[in-house]
Amino acid sequence: MTMLIIYLIKNSFLHFKRLCGSLYRNAKLKQQNPTGMFDLTSQVIECELEKYVVIFDNTKVYNCKIGAYSYIQMNGRIFHCEIGKFCSIAASVSIAPGMHDMSRVTTHPSFYFNTDALPKIFVTEDKLELYKRVHIGHDVWIGEKVVIIDGIKIGNGAVIASGAIVVKDVEPYSVVGGVPARHLKYRFDEETIELFQKSEWWNYSDEWFEKNADMMLDVDRFKEYLKGL
């Protein structure tokens, strides 16, 4: 009974310590990024964020660069990646979850990863590459429960269907889905994709968007605008 009480006290203390740490990090994060929104249960560590980024509840983001207006919904695990502007990332998405080398005797990280996350390891330095950065373009929509493995590149305007596991690069404006993810179709024809890519509209000013918000819902009208530039 005494051991149980001690365990409960220690566990409660650890939870309290983590909560205090999370509150401090989020307060500092909000100070550094006043236009952003960050849920108190989220963790954003060693990241560079542009304006109006939103991180929803219970999402962990580590070692990432996130472009303006992009958001990550709840329960995400987003590591070691660069995310462009205007990206929509749904709930329970996992990006760059880490690598295990299947060509070795064992895939267990205690033999190649110097970490305090495991109670016992057998190395004093990292022996293998542990992760590769993921690069996600602008205006990318990633559906719920998608997994994107390390080292993948997602082109501008791409759509990743819910539940997909992405194991190879995705072309701009490609719609992919399945396990493993495969190309299903392109969002637009080749001419439209080329126009949008060349325009780099995601770099337009806030003032332009405020004046032309309706145009962003009309493909033909926007194409005519671009052709007239």
| Unique residue bearing structure tokens 């329960």 | 75
- Identify whether 100 is a catalytic site residue: yes
Q: How far apart are the first and last CA of the chain?
A: 77
Residue among 80, 100, 135, 138 flagged as catalytic: 100
Neighbours of 142 (CB within 10 A): 27
- Of 38, 70, 71, 44, the C-alpha closest to 57 is 38
Catalytic sites, residue numbers:
100
